[in-house]
Structure 1
Amino acid sequence: MDANLLHWKSQGQSFLGRLKIWFDLLDPTLLISSDAEIHKAHTALGSGEKTSEKETTTAATLALSSVHADTGQVLPFIFRPPALFPISAPIIYAAFLPHKSVKSALLSQFLLQSYFTGFNYANRNISSEKQNKLSLKQMFLNVGTVSYATCAGAFPQIIINRLRVRDASVLHFCRTVLPIPLAAFLAFFSLITVRSEEAEDGITVFDSEGNAVGRSKAAGEKAVRETALSRAALIGTTAAGPSLIVSLLQRSSFFRSRRLLLAPLRPFSLVFLVGLAIPASLSLFPQLGTVKQEVLEEELRAAAALDGHLYYHRGL
């Protein structure tokens, strides 16, 4: 078991514990570290040598934020967790702006879906040689996912333009209400599709000592489902939050007489919510998850007899 996973096993089994870790891992200044520094930190984390608590924490933060736990390789720069907020926040904001044309809606959705498809794929579970290579099937899945999600995400704007909607209540529904469940569903669907190989082929499972004992489709399905729910929570929350905040403030007498103050409130509230939703959504489920003995494949149940479960790497 990789040093990153061993660290998650000892430190990340409670929601609050994971949340604290993720606030540290999402620090954008970690992006300035060189590959050599990252490899050194990952090696130090797995060496087992006694160092000061500060040195151990620094090494763990750099390794967990930049190294893939299955391959031991440094993640692509833009798909590392510390890059998630500075890159995704403006893209999410653009995607949920009230657009005037279908082209602008499609462009913003294309950027959103492309980035998260790349992030989902780069941070997937890669516990086999087959999953480590980009197959023709996986390439078509990724392209198809981006294409479908882009068109579906722009669907509310397509309705407005094609039907020439002018009614205020219908416009409000298409621009404020409909995008929320649609965005959450597309985030869930995108991750399920991009990482479908994990559910089909299974992922490596480990015993309590960190030894790989086989591959499990049940663990793969659980890992993908949990991560899809966390991604839907992230996108759904950021889609719903600004509109909810603005609608509540509009009812106050202070903002009713100062409506101009509401205009900058939406982008500020969205960025604020993205900043909170990212660590919260990543903390919903453990990075080193467990799968119970009774749902495991027959050949793996004996390995889980001692603890009643086996461990798996969930991915991001």
Structure 2
Amino acid sequence: MDANLRFWRAEGQSFFQRFLLWTDVLDPLLLLKSSDEIRRTRLLLQNSGKTLSEPLQNDQSSVHPDTDKIIPVLFRPPAFLPISLPLVIASSLQLRAKETFFCQFVFHTYTTGFTLLNGNGTAKAEEYSLQQKQIFYGLGAISYAACIGALPLVFMNRYMLNSSLTQLVVRKLLPAPLLGLMSAFTVAVVRSPELENGIEVMDRNGKVVGLSQKAAEKAVKETALSRAALFGTTFFLPDVLMYFVERAKFAKTPRALALVKMLVITSVLAGMLPVSLSMFPQCGEIKRADLEPEIVSSTEETELFYNRGI
């Protein structure tokens, strides 16, 4: 079992513990670490026999715990906020259908790439064909999600539905649940090979017991729910807060309102990111009785562990 995964298992038992760990891991300054520095720290961590009570090596969030490969800098956890923030802001603007499609296509392209590179890396299949399948699924999911995001605007414009009620539903009420749902959808699609091939489950000592589709289903479901909560809330809450800002006439000009909204979206996304990542343990647990018969018969452990992915 990866050293950081062991740390998450020991120190990330409660939501509050996980939240504090993620606030450290998401520090954008960690992106300044070079690949050589990361490799040296990784080697030191593996060879020094550090105890679980010692601090988490945050720069090791740049290394995939399953494949031991360094994650490209733009798709490391500390890069998620600074890159996704302008994409979320652009997607929240009151744009036309074509512009909305483009903004959401770019947004889902980045989040899908992040999911692909930070998912569970233990799905067993021929590596090249597995990557091909995930990329193919990902492109389909991105296109579908962007179309769904722009569809209400297309429908409204096509049938000339310009009433205040239609504007409220299409521009205020629908975007948040649609973005949350589509974010969960892209996670489920791009990580679907894990559901087909299974992921590794380990005992308390880190020994791999077998491959489990049921553990994969639990890991993918938890990640999809956390992503839906992240972006659904990031779209919904700022609109609610902006309603009260407009009522209080805190910002009187359109430019001031736009600036306030950007600040609100930034605050909500920055707060929700560690919250959503802390919803479920990074080192997931699953009862032996819930696993496949061949795994149940191969161990006496009552609980087994797996890497949930991000």
Instruction: Note the C-alpha offset of 1:167.
Output: 1.3
Distance 1:263 1:127 in 2: 44
Given the alignment, which residue of 260, 279, 282 partners 1:284? 279
Distance 1:4 1:26 in 2: 15
Distance 2:298 2:263 in 1: 51
Instruction: Note the C-alpha offset of 1:129.
Output: 5.0
Aligned to 2:10: 10
1:311 partnered with 2:305: yes
Gaps of 5+ in 2: none
Aligned to 2:209: 213
- Decide whether the 8 Å contact of 1:288 with 1:312 is kept in 2: yes
Distance 1:303 1:92 in 2: 46
Code of the residue aligned with 1:312 in structure 2: it is Y
Change (3 A) 1:129 1:40: farther
SS in 1 for 2:200: strand
Which whole-Å deviations, capped at 9, do the CAs of 1:257-308 have from their partners, x for residues lacking one? 94655332211100111101111111111110011122111111245533x2
SS in 2 for 1:312: strand
Distance 2:184 2:175 in 1: 14
Aligned to 2:21: 21
Matches within 5 A, 1:258-297: 258=252, 261-297=256-292
Code of the residue aligned with 2:112 in structure 1: it is T
The 10-residue stretch of structure 1 (240-249 or 219-228) with the greater mean CA deviation from structure 2: 240-249
Instruction: Note the C-alpha offset of 1:72.
Output: 0.8
Code of the residue aligned with 2:186 in structure 1: it is S
SS in 2 for 1:182: helix
Distance 1:270 1:126 in 2: 32
Instruction: Note the C-alpha offset of 1:249.
Output: 3.1
Which whole-Å deviations, capped at 9, do the CAs of 1:38-96 have from their partners, x for residues lacking one? 11122222224459x8xx53x61111x20000011100111100000000000011011
- Decide whether the 8 Å contact of 2:284 with 2:306 is kept in 1: yes
Instruction: Note the C-alpha offset of 1:152.
Output: 0.7
Distance 2:213 2:124 in 1: 16
1:95 partnered with 2:87: no
- Decide whether the 8 Å contact of 2:124 with 2:197 is kept in 1: no
Aligned to 1:42: 42
- Decide whether the 8 Å contact of 1:231 with 1:281 is kept in 2: yes
- Decide whether the 8 Å contact of 1:205 with 1:310 is kept in 2: yes
Instruction: Note the C-alpha offset of 1:208.
Output: 0.8
SS in 2 for 1:231: helix
Given the alignment, which residue of 53, 60, 64 partners 2:57? 60
Instruction: Note the C-alpha offset of 1:158.
Output: 1.4
TM-score, structure 1 normalization: 0.91
Which whole-Å deviations, capped at 9, do the CAs of 1:185-215 have from their partners, x for residues lacking one? 1011110111001111110000011111110
SS in 1 for 2:181: helix
How many residues get paired? 307
Instruction: Note the C-alpha offset of 1:135.
Output: 4.0
Given the alignment, which residue of 72, 75, 82 partners 2:71? 75
- Decide whether the 8 Å contact of 2:73 with 2:79 is kept in 1: yes
Distance 1:4 1:229 in 2: 23
The 10-residue stretch of structure 1 (137-146 or 196-205) with the greater mean CA deviation from structure 2: 137-146
**Root-mean-square deviation (Å):** 1.9
TM-score, structure 2 normalization: 0.93
Distance 1:14 1:248 in 2: 34
Instruction: Note the C-alpha offset of 1:182.
Output: 0.8
Change (3 A) 1:29 1:297: same
Distance 1:131 1:116 in 2: 25
- Decide whether the 8 Å contact of 2:75 with 2:113 is kept in 1: yes
Aligned to 2:32: 32
